[in-house]
Amino acid sequence: MTAAASSHSPLPGYAGLDPDCVLRTLDALGLRGDGRLLQLNSYENRVFQVFLEDGGVVVAKFYRPSRWSDAQILEEHAFACELAAEDVPVVAPRILPAAPGIELLGTPPTLARWHDGAGNHRVAVSDRHAGRAPELEDPAVLQWLGRFLGRLHIVGARRPFAQRRSIDAATFGHAARQRLLDGGFVPDSECTVWSGWCDAALDRVDRAFSSHIDVPRLRLHGDFHPGNIMWRDAGPHVVDLDDACSGPAVQDLWMLLSGDAVAMRAQLAQILAGYRVFRPFDERELALIEPLRTLRMIHHSAWIAERWTDPAFPAAFPWFGSAAYWSQQATQLREQVQAMDEPPLLS
C-alpha cells in the first residue's frame, strides 16, 4: 500500500470528538464552557483552548488513541509536576476533581477517561499559557534557553523513566526504516537508493552510539525545537511534554542549532554558557548530534506513515509518498553520512 493509496477514513477514537463532545467532557469535569473554543495546532493529539463561563481559559488535550499507555501518560504528567514544583517553567496538568461518569487516573489524578456515546476519550486539562517564538539569533536568548535546559536536566537526572521510551538506534532508526519498507511507503523507483543511504547512515549511527554507550541517559523534554518553546518577558516555558523520553542531554540542545558549522559552533557556545551555570555538560555528547539528527529524519517519515489514516496527515503532508519526497530524503541521508564522517562539532 502506498501513501497515495491509503484510506482517508476518519481515525477511530477521534471521529466523535466534535466541539459538543469537548464541551460536554469539560462540563463533566466541572469546567463549564461558554460555548467558545479554538482547536490548536497539534498533529499528534487533539488540543482545544476552551473559554469558561467564569471567565477563565483552559487547554484540553485529548490524547491520540493507542499511542501512549495510561502509565506512559501519567509518567509524563508526573515529570511535568516535578519540574513545576522546582520552579522550572513547565505548564503542568491540573489535578482533576471526581465527577460522575468520569474515570480518574493518577495520584493525584491528572488524566480522565470520559466514556461517552461518541467515544472513549482520555483528556488532560491545563491552564492557558501563551507566548511567542524565541529569537534564536539573540545570544542572550540562547544563554537563557541553556539555563532553562540545565535546570530541567537537573530534575531529569534524579531518577529514570520506567515507562517512557528511550532514544536509540533500534527504535528510532532500524524499526522506523522497517515500518516504512513493510508498509510500501517508499516508491519502487526510489526504494533502492533510499534504503541504501538509510543503511549507510544507520551503520554510522550504530557506531556512534556504541562508542558512547557510557554517556548518561536522563529524562528529557525530547522534542525541544523552537516551535515547542513559548517565550514571554519572563523567559521561556513549555506547555507540552508529549515526547518526553530518556536519552543523552544533547538531544535537548541540538535542535536549537542551525546554519553551517561556524554558526552552530557559535550558537552552541552560548547555549552551553547558560547550561553550565546549573549543570556540567559532557562534551563527548557532541559526537551524537548528527546521529541524533539522522534518527529524527528517519523517525519523522515513519511517524507520518503511521498516521496516514488520520485525515489530518494527508492534508498536511500531501507530498508524502511521492518520488520527489523520497529522492530528497535519500539526498539528505547521503548528506548525513558525510556529516557523520566529519569530526564532531566542538563548543
Q: Do 129 and 230 contact (CB within 8 A), yes or no?
A: yes
Q: What's the CA gap between 61 and 125, in Å, rounded?
A: 6
- State how far the alpha carbon of 99 is from the alpha carbons of 25, 26, 27, 64, in Å: 11, 10, 10, 23
Full DSSP string of 233-297? TTEEEBS--TT-EEE-GGGGTGGG--SSHHHHHHHHHHHHHHHTTTS---GGGGGGHHHHHHHHH
Q: Do 88 and 148 contact (CB within 8 A), yes or no?
A: yes
Give the residue carrying C-alpha cell 511534554: 241
How many CB atoms within 10 Å of residue 227? 10
Sequence-distant (6+) residues with CB within 8 A of 244 are 75, 76, 79, 161, 164, 219, 220, 221, 222
- State how far the alpha carbon of 217 is from the alpha carbons of 47, 151, 198, in Å: 30, 16, 25
Report which residue type is found at 10.
P
Catalytic residue among 188, 199, 206, 240: 240
Nearest to 237 by CA among 87, 59, 91, 82: 91
Catalytic residue among 168, 223, 242, 310: 223
Per-residue b or e along 125-157, where b marks 16 or more CB atoms closer than 10 Å to that residue's CB? bbeeeebeebebeeeebbbbbbbbbbbbbebbe
Active site residue 240: yes
Radius of gyration of the chain (CA): 21
Q: Which three cell numbers stand for residue 260?
A: 553551517
Question: C-alpha dihedral over 142, 282, 289, 308, to 10 degrees?
Answer: -90
Nearest to 345 by CA among 275, 294, 291: 291
Q: Which residues are catalytic?
A: 223, 240
